[in-house]
Amino acid sequence: MIRAYQAHDYQQVAEVFWETTTRVQFASETERQQFQNQYLDDYLGQVAFVAVEGEQVLGYIIAQLDTLKTEATWAPHLAIFREDYASYPAHLHINCREASQGKGLGGQLLAALENDLLARGVKGLHLITAADARNVNFYKKYGYLQVALKPWKSTDLIMLGKIL
């Protein structure tokens, strides 16, 4: 079942976040908490949905409504796509527990988010990932198109977007 995020989901959503993140090394607990704030906590107050089975959170999707309005808190790599945010203002993050992947939950979470954003009048949605990441095909399956491809440090980043 997909439903709106509720405050009592926080602990389980944070568990999913840490289970699925690729970054695991931090110089301090403060840096670790800042990372969680930047990629999870700051989004939860805007738009968030969870996939649940009973009381267990299997995954979540979160979004900022307008990336340009959050520029003061951007991770450095977000700036390279700045010119595209007007057409695709909302920025999403989605994660599902490994045991729940491949079962259609991601598509259901995307649909819930897209419908919510459409109802709010948001005209487009985007995400940024490594160009060679396995999640690129997942998003393309659901109608996300390549908006831009740009070099960043030792990799290429891709911005995928969808007009709602």
CATH of the domain at 42: 3.40.630.30
Helices (H), 25-133: 29-36, 42-44, 105-120
Residue 73 has pLDDT above 90, yes or no: no
Domain count, the chain: 1
- Per-residue confidence (pLDDT) for residue 74, from 0 to 100: 87
Residue 72 has pLDDT above 90, yes or no: no
Q: Write the CB contacts of 140 (distance below 8 Å, at least 6 apart in sequence).
A: 160
Q: Is the Cβ–Cβ distance between 5 and 60 less than 8 Å?
A: yes
What is the mean pLDDT of the segment spanning 121-138? Answer: 96
Instruction: Give the C-alpha separation, 61 to 47, whole Å.
Output: 8
Task: Convert the pLDDT of each residue in 148-159 to its tens digit.
Answer: 999 999 999 999
For the whole model, what pTM was predicted? 0.93
Percent of the chain predicted with pLDDT > 90: 88
Q: Determine the structural domain holding residue 114 and report its residue range.
A: 2-163
Residue 75 has pLDDT above 90, yes or no: no
